[in-house]
Amino acid sequence: MEVAYQWMTNPTLIGTNARLQLGTKAKEFKMSKVLVVSDPGVKAAGILEEPIKLLKDEQIDVVTYTEVNSDPLDTKCYEGADLAKKEKCDGIVAIGGGSVLDAAKAMNILVANPAPLDKYYGGWDYKRGLPLICMPTTAGTGSENTIYGVISSTTTDTKKVVLYCCDLGICDPVLTYKLPPHLTASTGLDAFAHCAESVTCNVENPMTETLAMDGISRVCKYLPIAYKDPTNTEAREQMMIAANYGGIAFSQTCCHLGHAISQCMGARFHVPHGISCAWALPEVMAYSAIGKPDKVKMVADYLDISYDKDDSDKVVGQKVADGIREFMRMMDVKSIKDYGISRKDLIDICDIVMEDNCFPFIPTPLTRDEVREILGKVYDTYQ
- Report the alpha-carbon distance of residue 298 to residue 259 in Å, rounded: 20
Of the pLDDT bands very low, low, confident and very high (cuts 50, 70, 90), residue 1 is very low
Is 151's pLDDT higher than 60? yes
Is 198's pLDDT higher than 80? yes
Of the pLDDT bands very low, low, confident and very high (cuts 50, 70, 90), residue 158 is confident
Is 343's pLDDT higher than 90? yes
Q: Please, what are the domains in the chain? A: 12-176 (3.40.50.1970), 181-380 (1.20.1090.10)
Is 7's pLDDT higher than 80? no
Of the pLDDT bands very low, low, confident and very high (cuts 50, 70, 90), residue 267 is confident
Is 244's pLDDT higher than 80? yes
pTM over 0.95: no
Residue-level pLDDT at 81: 98
Provide the percentage of residues in the chain whose pLDDT is more than 70.
Answer: 98
pLDDT digits (tens, 9 = 90+) for 88-111: 999 999 999 999 999 999 999 999
Tell me the pLDDT of the chain averaged across its residues: 95
Among 56-60, 133-137, 217-221, 271-275, the range scoring the smallest mean pLDDT is 271-275
pLDDT digits (tens, 9 = 90+) for 119-128: 999 999 999 9
Residue-level pLDDT at 156: 86
Q: Which amino acid, residue 228?
A: K
pLDDT digits (tens, 9 = 90+) for 55-79: 999 999 999 999 999 889 999 999 9
Is 5's pLDDT higher than 80? no
Is 6's pLDDT higher than 60? no
